[in-house]
Amino acid sequence: MSDSHTEMQKPKQNETLPIPAGNDGWNDAASEAAERTIRGTLLKFANWRWTAGKEATPVEDGTKLVAMATAAMWVRWEDSKPVEYIVRQPGRRLPEREELSHQDKSEWEEGFDNEPKDPWQNTRLVYLVDPHTAEAFTFSTTTWGGRGAVSDLGDQIARMRTVHLDAVPIVELRAAKMPTKRGPKSKPVFKVVGWKSASSSEQPAPVERQITAQDAKREVDQHEMDDEIPY
């Protein structure tokens, strides 16, 4: 005996299923994507080079993207895997390192320079979108230079928003020299080359995302943060 309900749901041959106007499902799919901690392709910066994805595909210097949002968190690593997260919430500061656990350096794992390495990594994420294709990218950094680039961009956005409250920056991915104790190094730069109005876009203005530590762990683990995010 056939299931009458199943038979009723099957489209007839050459029949086109109707799609309700304004309800094709893509908005719901986009909402699911917007809830992820890491969206689209992960971007990295190291040694004057921007790269994308696990394959470390080179990203051309000067590539233009729209900076949509940012997030900040402490990530604790153990056996080369992220195991704990403390996410900054809007309007609140990220705790100082001295306020976190694992203070005893004798218990830290050895780093690449054979020195004890702090298990807590101060991490920044920047969400970017290609203005032509709408492809999503997430830039992740744990370095002083990278965090400085995010702060500098935030400062520039804040100044622009004193005049245009919904300003969203169009940036070029650049690199610049950064002096360090070990000599000159490179740092990422988000060079603002234009602005757009968030009110004229379907995307939200750059804001700090409201995510919990549990959300961060789930999403970061799914995107293999231990392999993708350098520290």
Give the tens place of pLDDT for each residue, 22-80. Answer: 678 877 776 676 666 788 999 999 999 999 999 999 999 999 999 999 999 999 999 98
CB 87 within 8 A of CB 212: yes
Q: How confident is the model at residue 183 (pLDDT cuts 50, 70, 90)?
A: confident
User: Which residue from 142, 104, 95, 103 is spatially nearest to 123, judged by alpha carbons?
Assistant: 142
Q: Is residue 95 part of a domain?
A: yes
Whether the per-residue pLDDT at 221 is higher than 60: the answer is: no
- The encoded tokens of residue 221 equal 């683990």
User: Which residue from 19, 34, 52 is spatially nearest to 203, judged by alpha carbons?
Assistant: 34
Residue 14: the pLDDT is 57
Radius of gyration of the chain (CA): 21
Mean confidence (pLDDT) of the chain? 82
What is the Cα–Cα distance from 151 to 219, expressed in whole angstroms? 24
Residue 109: the pLDDT is 94
Q: Rounded to two decimals, what is the model's pTM?
A: 0.73
Q: Which helix (H) or strand (E) holds 191?
A: strand 185-197
Around 15, how many Cα atoms within 13 Å sit in the side-chain half-sphere? Answer: 8
Residue 75: the pLDDT is 93
Q: Is residue 8 part of a domain?
A: no
Q: Is residue 29 part of a domain?
A: no
DSSP calls for 144-162 = HHHHHHHHHHHHHHHHHTT
Q: Is residue 20 part of a domain?
A: no
Q: Is residue 32 part of a domain?
A: no
Taking residue 151's Cβ as centre, other Cβ atoms within 10 Å add up to 13
Q: Is residue 64 part of a domain?
A: yes
Task: Provide the domain limits for residue 117.
Answer: 38-228
Average pLDDT of the segment spanning 79-101: 92
What is the residue whose two structure tokens read 């919430």? 89
Average pLDDT of the segment spanning 205-219: 50
Q: For residue 156, what is the DSSP state?
A: H
Whether the per-residue pLDDT at 93 is higher than 70: the answer is: yes
User: Which residue from 139, 123, 107, 138 is spatially nearest to 231, judged by alpha carbons?
Assistant: 123
Q: Is residue 138 part of a domain?
A: yes
User: Which residue from 81, 78, 63, 46 is spatially nearest to 186, judged by alpha carbons?
Assistant: 46
CB 76 within 8 A of CB 84: yes
Q: How confident is the model at residue 207 (pLDDT cuts 50, 70, 90)?
A: very low
- The encoded tokens of residue 108 equal 């830290």
Total tally of structural domains belonging to the chain: 1
Q: Is residue 152 part of a domain?
A: yes
